Amino acid sequence: MRILVVSQITSRMIGGVPAETASLVRGLHERGHDVGLATDLPLPGAEAAEHFAITVPTGTSLPAELRGVVDIFRPDFIHVMDLGPRGVLRSRRILESRPWVFTCHSVPPHERSVPYWHSSDFLQGLARDVRYGVKALAWRWMFVRGVVPQVIVHSDFVRRAVIGCGHPASRTAVIGIADGSVGGPLSRNDVPACGPAPSIVTVGGIAHTKGYHDALYALAKVVRRYPALRYSIVGEARDDSYVDFLRSEIARLGLEAHVEIHVSLPGLAKAALLDQADLYLQPSHEEGFCLSYIEAAMVVPRLVGTATGAIAAMSEGDPHARVVAPRRPGQLAAAIEALLVTPVDRDAMLKRRAVLADRFGKERYLDAHEALYASICGHYPVFSS
């Protein structure tokens, strides 16, 4: 099959949608498909695809650009990995010329934030509802009108949001993102309970919805028991005002000796931090899936996350993982302290890897996509009406 993948997310972005796109391209190519990729720049890790340049951010030129790509590549199927309602509506005729599917990573205003108002989750939420109100209505209109024939989401959290916007449940498929780190060597044997200097790490774009401020409030309690605790925040700065807020909170809470913010840390340095961490913390308010959490689960023995995205599904049945409600620093602190006093043997890590490989393995991810592609092709053009 000739499959064209389309994304409006810049290939310069680290992690997130580009990381999944590259993984999908590689997997489809390995299974014998010819893959085209329409993005702004060639995507690292997706060299197997034939690249076609489109303008990002997308605008009025998008339909003509996609028409040119379709005329040259002649795909059998189009997979829209990321495109907003305006782009979908502008390009509807081109998309409907082939069987196509739309991956929805989140529905606005989820995973969006606004500058400032960081000291109050309520005011932040109110401000972003105003800021993204029109965009949220556009997404709802797109789903209610049935413009999209089939939606792929990566968690029940997003599935509920999509169905809540009016898209049929029967045309909303949950496919967890495949984790590519399963199977690497384990660097540690048995992991004892922690002494006074545990290392805790969080990885993710630095923005209000990632809940880093909740982590700080939690660790202000934990540090009383672990006076040499170290916490590393690793990620791209997606909101400079939030980075400034975190630095001011670190100072206000007296955590300067305990917390470091690493902006755009190189991959090897990030891997080294994770490899040495005693506990991985994901305090997010909202997630579409949370690739960072599953990647950390392969190397970090203890996990604490919030009940958003697919974090609960990743943690289910794991004795060394705790999931708490978002925006609950007290619950985060209690979960962290409970896990730090618990030793972990290597057998536990091997079992976790096996479970996650079964739930979120690459082959299952590709199987699900191929099956969905075949189903949509079998119903085409009924879905695109």
Q: Report yes or no on 49 lying in a domain.
A: yes
Q: What is the structure's pLDDT at 385?
A: 45
Residue 186: inside a domain: no
From CA 190, how far away is CA 17, in angstroms rounded? 35
Q: Are strands 172-174 and 2-7 parallel, antiparallel or unpaired?
A: unpaired
| 19 plus 129 within the same structural domain | yes
Distance separating alpha carbons of residues 44 and 40, to the nearest angstrom: 12
- What is the per-residue pLDDT for 137? 94
Q: Rounded distance, CA 49 to CA 4, Å?
A: 9
210 with 342, same domain?
yes
Same-domain check for residues 371 and 273: no
Buried b (16+ CB within 10 A) or exposed e, 309-335: bbbbbbbeebebbbbbebebbebbbbb
343 shares its domain with 369: no
Q: Are residues 14 and 56 in the same domain?
A: yes
What total of structural domains would you count in the chain? 2
- CATH number of residue 102's parent domain: 3.40.50.2000
The per-residue pLDDT for 14 is: 80
Beta strand pairing status for 77-82 and 279-282?
unpaired
| Pair (372, 315) in one structural domain | no
Say whether both 261 and 370 belong to one domain: no
Distances from the Cα of 45 to the Cα of 22, 54, 279, 341, angstroms: 5, 18, 29, 39
Question: What are the tokens at 220?
Answer: 């202000």
| Tens place of pLDDT per residue across the chain (385 aa) | 999 999 999 998 887 899 999 999 999 999 999 999 999 999 999 999 999 999 999 999 999 999 999 999 999 999 999 999 999 999 999 999 999 999 999 999 988 999 989 999 999 999 999 999 999 999 999 999 889 999 999 999 999 999 999 999 999 999 998 876 554 566 677 788 898 999 999 999 999 999 999 999 999 999 999 999 999 999 999 999 999 999 999 999 999 999 999 998 888 999 999 999 999 999 999 999 999 999 999 999 999 999 999 999 999 999 999 999 999 999 999 999 999 999 998 899 999 999 999 899 999 999 999 999 999 998 777 555 4
227 and 107 fall within a common domain: no
* 286 falls within a domain: yes
Q: Report the alpha-carbon distance of residue 124 to residue 245 in Å, rounded.
A: 13
pLDDT of residue 192: 87
Output the CA angle 47-359-231, nearest 5 degrees: 80
The encoded tokens of residue 312 equal 């609960």
Would residue 192 count as lying in a domain?
A: no
pTM value is 0.87
Do 215 and 94 lie in one domain? The reply is no
State whether 153 and 248 are in the same domain: no
Residues 343 and 373 in one domain: no
pLDDT (0 to 100) of residue 169:
94
* Residue 264 and residue 165 in one domain: no
A 10 A CB-CB count for 290 gives 26
Residue 104 in domain: yes
Q: Compute the distance between CA of residue 320 and CA of residue 246 in angstroms, rounded to an integer.
A: 28
Do the domain assignments include residue 384? no
CA neighbor of 96 nearest in space, from 376, 381, 374: 381
CB contact at 8 A, 384 and 88? no
Residue 223 maps to a domain: yes
Tell me, yes or no, whether 385 lies in a domain.
Answer: no
- d(C-alpha 256, C-alpha 238), whole Å: 22
Confirm if 35 and 45 have CB atoms less than 8 A apart: no
User: Domain span at residue 247?
Assistant: 199-359
